Amino acid sequence: MSGATDRGDSRHLMTSSVATRILGWVGLAAMAVMALLGLVVSPRDRIQGEAVRLLYIHVPTIWVAYGSFVLTAVASALYLWRGSSREDRGRHYDRIAGAAGEVAVLFLALTLVTGMLWGRITWGVFWQWDARLTTTALMFVSYLGYLAIRNMPADIEARSKRAAIAALLAAVNIPIVHFSVEWWRTLHQKASIRSDRNSEITGDMFATLMFSLLAFTLVAAWLMIHRYRLVRLEEIREEEGLALAVSARRAEGVNA
């Protein structure tokens, strides 16, 4: 009965729901509008010139990465708290953690790439080992390690538990990266939007940045939903492979 259920679950996961398809199209449209706002409507900066347009990718990607890493940590904590039994919601939390972690690493990679391009234009070099860049690179490497643990060949429950612990340890880097420009002297500028004083950007630039945050969030949500489904499909394939191996061993015992 469980095999039939898994096959039915597998077929369901391989098809997108109407809501997911709508989310995908809305996200695509939002990215198109963001490109129009960032390249045409938003003016050039009086200091940074055309390089300021990288802001509309650089800032949203790091904020999406932050949010996804936090979701990974919360889901990992819930997985450890609720237990790792396949019969409860523990597996659900583990899948959320894995999907969010992969999306976060993707967006953090975009942050690093756009930051390097920005650095080349404003500082004259692609990379400087200052506080913000160094802590961001360390965070990127720590979450690559988290994903590596998730893909290690091992029992699914033991592997997920190790990954959950690694995610909680890696989450310590999030506030360090965010506040590094406040705690240490760094080439990286301070936050463009701050709660304790007026924002560094206003007008069309501010509106474009806020819309960019929305657009990237929609795309990240769509990617996370599909990655969650793929994680579940991978689990089903792994469980089916284990069942076949056990059946083969039993058959060998009967025929011996």
Reported as a single tens digit per residue, the pLDDT across 1-10 is 444 444 545 5
Which residues fall within 8 angstroms of residue 181, CB to CB, at 6 or more apart? 131, 132, 188, 189, 190, 191
Contact 41, 204 (CB under 8 A): yes
Q: Is 228 or 8 the better-scoring residue by pLDDT?
A: 228
Q: Is 179 or 190 the better-scoring residue by pLDDT?
A: 179
What is the C-alpha separation between 229 and 183, in angstroms, rounded?
40
At residue 198, the pLDDT reads 53
The DSSP H or E segment spanning 244 is: helix 203-255
The DSSP H or E segment spanning 237 is: helix 203-255
Residue 47 has pLDDT above 80, yes or no: no
What is the C-alpha separation between 13 and 73, in angstroms, rounded?
25
The DSSP H or E segment spanning 226 is: helix 203-255
pLDDT in tens, 146-184: 999 998 887 778 888 999 999 999 999 898 888 877 776
What is the C-alpha separation between 170 and 118, in angstroms, rounded?
26
256 pLDDT band, cuts 50/70/90, is: low
* Average pLDDT of span 101-130: 88
Taking the model in full, what pTM does it have?
0.80
pLDDT in tens, 200-226: 666 788 889 999 999 999 999 999 999
At residue 238, the pLDDT reads 63
What is the C-alpha separation between 161 and 80, in angstroms, rounded?
7
Average pLDDT over the chain reads 80
Residue 70 has pLDDT above 90, yes or no: yes
The DSSP string of 29-96 is HHHHHHHHIIIIISPPBTTTBGGGGGHHHHHHHHHHHHHHHHHHHHHHHHHHHH---TTSTHHHHHHH
Residue type for 36, please? L
Please enumerate, as own/partner, the contacts of 178-181 that have beta carbons within 8 Å and a separation of 24 or more: 178/66, 180/131, 180/132, 180/135, 181/131, 181/132
* Average pLDDT of span 115-139: 84
